[in-house]
Chain A
Amino acid sequence: MHYLDLNIELTKEDIMLKEAAHEFARDVMRPVAQEMDRMTAAETVAPDSPFWEFKKKAYELDFHTILIPDSYGGMGLSPLQQALVAEELAWGSVGLLVDLAVAAFPAYLASLVPDEELIDEIIVPFCECRDGKIAGCWAITEPMHGSDTITPGYPSFHDPNIPSDCNIADDGDCYVVNGQKAAWVSGAPYATHAALFTRMDEGMGHAGSGIMIVPLDLPGVKRGAPLEKMGQRDDPQGELFFDNVRVPKKYLIVGPEAYEAMLDITLSMTTALMGMGAVGVARAAFEEALAYAKNRVQGGKALIEHQDVQKKLFNMFGKVELTRQMSRAAHVYNQNTSTPAEEYSVLCKVYGTQSAFEVTSEAIQIFGGNGVTREYIVEKLFRDARAMMIEDGANDILAIAAGHKLIGSYPRRD
């Protein structure tokens, strides 16, 4: 279903891009996502899974490179175009959108360092890949440290007494990685590369971490079983184990000297993207509820004719629109400065995913009993939205850390 775009400055190219993304979301992502939702986690990554067909088609259309500059063969989208595409893809499936986004993480990080070897080994092959076989993942969460790893600027982030489950040690010509990342790493069951965010300097707490690209075919890397979970079952996840994995030094993107600020920069992008994902999920639920309310008759008239349902739908519509405006504005702003105002991105994630949760829940209410059956997509959207409130940082802790930051950063000058 099309929606009125309040941005009157969209170019023809923007609109074509949005429509192409929507077609792909409708014709490829939705059906594959619904199929994967009913499979076991192991089946979703088995050779005959429809997931691989999705990956192939997404890569053929370049949707894996929405974050990568065109000078490397990526799509080279403007920040606004990234927002337009992300919303449409999330409308099709937020789990599959996350898969595509994390797939690009190593290449995106490498694009910040124009090192010829990284360009040739990481970025160009990823952009040129057409069968979906080259894919990254973002490995930050640890079994014993979830929120601990995702709160730059918060006092506990610097606490040397809070240990880490995964460490990088300097060993002359190489770095050596030992430890484990949690089963939450999206894409880990099949990724070829990890963007590893992990501890390097024990004395600095989690702030003493580094960002390193790790090819996952190196000796000593093992993967856990795909994770069974409630929502986003179409985003296969699993653990990564590192046993004396020797990684050439050229793969280090930043070390402890700049890690905390780099994590801030990363989160200001990912949390705004989560806001756009939330718009897609909420819009999908709103559209389903609106269509259903027009057809279902109770009390002698269609549900839509009952005032209470009209009000519910208006509130749902409002949450979709507000999240869209907020997320686009924050993403465009933060992608136009190297000193991002990350609290605005966090607002998109926290407000947006909470709204998506409420909208999908209201959609179920409008569907009545049908809403909790597997026959209708709203129950999947509800489960997917619920997972988003924890994904990329639990909303409560993101809000605490951003609130802490506001003490010093408000009012922002740049």
Chain B
Amino acid sequence: MTVFKDSEQMQAMLKDLWTHVIKETDVGPKLKEYDVNYKFVINEPNGFVYVDADQVLTGAEANREAVITMELSGDTVHQFWLKQLKLPVALATRKVKTKGPIPKVLKMLPYLKSVHDSYPVYCAKHGIHAN
């Protein structure tokens, strides 16, 4: 059983979460300052999420060029934002594969705390068990 019911639920929840994060926290300005944007290529359930300083896209239109691309499963998305999976372990075990400059991946990490913090709240909002 996967954490997300289907692609629609997962993409809707992640869009909601990231929209909050880029508009309400310092993630948006930092993405702009560091010239970073992300594409998440998710499997089980399949989906795309694209995030830059101004917008969050999902579905086919999110499948576009990005500075950092992360490939991972829906369950890994969940574990990672719940801090149940450390990044080095995720990378080493290839649960997360990244393409794009590793220094840029690392320099954004401290600002992603707000994604970790907000994640359980958005899980609850979208009816997803946060554990």
Within the complex, which residue of A79, A111, A261 is in contact with B94, where a contact is CB–CB below 8 Å?
A261
Please encode chain B, from 103 to 122, with 1 for each CB lying within 8 Å of some chain A CB and 0 for all others. 10111111111000000000
A119 and B103 alpha carbons, distance in the complex (Å):
16
Q: Given A335-B101, A339-B94, A258 and B88 touching (CB < 8 A)?
A: yes
Whether the Cβ atoms of A338 and B97 lie closer than 8 Å is: yes
Find chain A residues with CB under 8 A from B103 CB.
Answer: 69, 76-79, 335
Asked if A394 CB lies within 8 Å of chain B CBs, one says no
Across-interface contacts of A119 in B (CB, < 8 A): 110
Q: B127 at interface (Cβ–Cβ under 8 A)?
A: no
Q: Is the CB of A111 within 8 A of B106?
A: yes
Given A113-B86, A257-B89, are A78 and B102 also a contact pair (CB < 8 Å)? no
Classify the interface of chain B: helix, strand, loop or mixed. helix
Interfacial residues of chain B within 70-91, with CB under 8 A of chain A in the complex: 86-89, 91
Partner of A114, one of B91, B96, B102, B112: B112
Are B108 and A71 in contact (CB-based, < 8 A)? Answer: yes
Within 8 A of B (CB), among A256-306: 257-262, 264-265
- Is A253 located at the chain interface by the 8 A CB criterion? yes
Which residues does chain B contribute within 8 Å of A4, judged by CB atoms? Answer: none
| B-side contacts of A317, CB under 8 Å | none
CB of B103 to closest CB in A, whole Å: 6
Q: Which of A95-123 contact B (CB under 8 A)?
A: 109, 111-114, 116, 119
Residues of A within 8 A of B (CB): 69-72, 76-79, 109, 111-114, 116, 119, 211, 253-254, 257-262, 264-265, 335-339, 414
Given contacts A257-B93, A258-B93, contact A71 B110 (CB under 8 A): yes
Q: How far is the CA of A2 from the CA of B100 in the complex (A)?
A: 31
Interchain CB contact under 8 A, A112 and B106: yes
In Å, the complex CA distance between A260 and B96 comes to 16
A109 contact set on B, CB distance < 8 A:
88
Interface assignment of B5: CB less than 8 Å from any CB of chain A: no
Instruction: Identify which of A71, A116, A338 contacts B107 (C-beta below 8 A).
Output: A71
B92, chain A: closest CB distance, angstroms: 4
Q: Is the CB of A265 within 8 A of B101?
A: no
* Residue ID in chain A nearest B83 by CB atoms: A115
- Residues on B with C-beta less than 8 A from A260 are 92
Beta-carbon contact of B97 and A76 below 8 Å:
no
Among the listed A77, A112, A335, which residue makes an inter-chain contact with B88, where contact means beta carbons less than 8 Å apart? Answer: A112
B101 near A79 (CB under 8 angstroms)?
yes
6 interchain residue pairs of minimum CB distance: A69-B107, A261-B92, A258-B92, A114-B109, A338-B98, A71-B107
B97: chain A residues at CB < 8 Å are 337-339, 414
The answer for the CA separation of A211 and B86 in the assembled complex, in Å, is: 13
| Chain A residues, CB < 8 A from B32 | none
Residues on B with C-beta less than 8 A from A71 are: 30, 34, 106-111
Q: Does B64 contact A (CB under 8 A)?
A: no
| B88–A113 touching, CB < 8 Å | yes
Q: Which residue of chain A has its CB nearest to the CB of B100?
A: A336
Additional 15 contacts, C-beta under 8 A, given A114-B110, A119-B110: A71-B30, A71-B34, A76-B103, A78-B101, A112-B87, A112-B88, A112-B91, A112-B106, A113-B86, A114-B109, A258-B92, A260-B92, A335-B102, A338-B97, A338-B102
CB distance from A104 to the nearest CB of B (A): 13
B32-67 near A? 1/0 per residue, CB < 8 Å: 001000000000000000000000000000000000
In the complex, chain B residues whose CB is within 8 Å of the CB of A116: 113
Distance in Å: Cβ of B88 to nearest Cβ of chain A: 4
